[in-house]
Amino acid sequence: MVGSKGKGTAATYASAFLAASGGRVVTVTSPGLRSNRERIRLDGAAISTADLESLGDQISRGLSLLPGRDQLPGHLAPAGLFTTAGVLYAQAVEADYLVLEAGMGGGSDEVSLFPPSVVAIAEIFAEHVGVLGDSPEEIAREKASVVAGQTEAVLSLPQQPSVREAIESVVRDRAGLELDVLDAVGGSLPMRVLPPSYGRWNAELGCAAARRMLELLDRDLPQPGALERVLESVRLPGRMSRHVVPGGETEVWIDSPISQAGIATALKMTRERWKTIDHVLLCLPDHKDVAGAIIELAGYPVTFVRLADAHFTFTKSLPDEWPVIDESELTPQFLSGLGKRVLSLGTVFFSGRMLDVLNAQTERLFVA
């Protein structure tokens, strides 16, 4: 799974679809929500602490055997570390299917070390400009470069014309395949088993990719009843998920948009549930669409939250009326003081922090 946004949803629904067919599925996504154990899941459930520690020991032993470690000690970046751990875990439990979510990139990401049979591409836009490329087209080519000679199918959500052309060129050059673009109008699954709004299409993409995998392997598709049961059980914490502050009455809706359009959609969906929004919590580092967020949130009471992680920077100008706090100040008592209806918006890292404060259930994403 590659893309700028929606990879985690697509990976979760692909995994649920495959699990509904009766297979054992290991899923690797990032980041974890409340625990690093959640980066690796078996049939929707986070692995145990003991399993994670065992995988860490196994990787450490492997690293120690590499030549030149004394001169170049180095380290694995988190995406590479957990991708490697997930592959090892899939081997250990004899998984039938492995679903890998790419990190920031595609061809430059460690997932490209494991040639995929099927590639699913979520929406690609101008994120990480100057890192993955200087334009959406360059970013698209980098992400699509996860496609390998062994790849048998590449599916994509509808893209901007220039982005689609860039993807198609890479897919033809690397695998000799035509890009399969999902229909933006219809859908193959009942609305009741899919998440709302933009999440629906990411879920459809994941299910379509899983279906294609089973067809390529000449394996049975899930029975309709089993598929609906599993898909109806899917929970996506941090993606328009509702929570109540422990020991209080304040409701909190958590979503993870990083663009102006995503924030506009989250506001629209929240207003359909609530007549008023008492307060908005926002956390967007400098490399996200802070300017777009300011435009969309004009007129709302907003508190801006800074994460402690050193690799995030928060230097962009904000409206004078927005208080700025550190994540350490987030407590159930603080949230209760914001009103009865609080909307939390920002990166998945921030959503994870909010889920932790709210003691939300994140151990299992679906039941197969």
Residue where a domain terminates, one of 232, 263, 280: 232
Q: Quote the pLDDT of residue 47.
A: 99
331 in a structural domain: yes
Residues 136 and 22 occupy one common structural domain: yes
Cα separation, 116 vs 361, whole angstroms: 31
Amino acid present at 324: V
Same domain, 261 and 188: no
**Nearest-10 Cα torsion for 157, 163, 165, 171:** -60
What is the biggest distance separating any 2 CA atoms in the chain, rounded to whole angstroms?
A: 63
**Residue at which a domain ends, from 179, 207, 232:** 232
Same domain, 227 and 247: no
- Asked, for residue 116, whether it belongs to a domain, the answer is yes
Instruction: Please give the backbone phi and psi of residue 38, each rounded to the nearest 5 degrees, phi first.
Output: -75, -10
With contact defined as beta carbons under 8 Å apart, do 213 and 11 qualify? no
Encode the chain (368 residues) as per-residue pLDDT tens digits.
999 889 999 999 999 999 999 999 999 999 999 999 999 999 999 999 999 999 999 999 998 888 888 787 777 788 899 999 999 999 999 999 999 999 888 888 899 999 999 999 999 987 655 567 778 999 999 999 999 999 999 999 999 999 999 999 999 999 999 999 998 666 778 889 999 877 899 999 999 999 999 999 999 999 999 999 999 999 999 999 999 999 999 999 999 999 999 999 999 999 999 999 999 999 999 989 999 999 999 999 999 999 998 889 999 999 999 999 999 999 999 999 999 999 999 999 999 999 999 999 999 999 99
In eight-state DSSP terms, residue 324 is: E
Confidence at residue 76, expressed as pLDDT on a 0 to 100 scale = 79
What the block records as the tokens of 230 is 């599993």
Cβ neighbours of residue 71 closer than 8 Å, sequence gap 6 or more: none
At 30, which helix (H) or strand (E)?
A: none
Residues 298 and 188 in one domain: no
Same domain, 166 and 274: no
Q: What is the pLDDT of residue 129?
A: 59
What the block records as the tokens of 30 is: 């990032």
Tell me the whole-structure pTM to 2 decimals.
0.93
Q: Are residues 141 and 171 in the same domain?
A: yes
Q: In sequence order, what E strands does 273-352 have? A: 279-283, 302-306, 324-326, 341-346
DSSP states of 54-121: HHHHHHHHHHHTSTTTTT------HHHHHHHHHHHHHHHTT-SEEEE---S-STTSGGGGS--SEEEE
Q: Has residue 28 been placed in a domain?
A: yes
Please state the separation of Cα 173 from the chain's center in Å. Answer: 28
Q: Same domain, yes or no, for 27 and 171?
A: yes
In a domain, 365, yes or no: no
**What Å distances lie between residue 345 and 73, 118, 293, CA to CA?**
38, 32, 10
CATH number for the domain that contains residue 11: 3.40.1190.10
Q: Rounded to 10 degrees, what is the CA torsion of 108, 178, 180, 265? A: 50
Contacts of 67 (CB under 8 A, 6+ apart): none
The half-sphere exposure of 35 on its side-chain side, counting CA atoms within 13 A, is 17
**pLDDT for residue 130:** 55
Chain centre distance of CA 201:
13
Alpha carbons 58 and 55: distance in angstroms, whole number? 5
Residues 261 and 289 in one domain: yes
What's the domain count of the chain? 2
Which tokens go with 327?
């994540």
CA neighbor of 244 nearest in space, from 328, 341, 318: 341
**What domain range is 350 assigned to?**
241-357
Give me the pLDDT at residue 66, please. 86
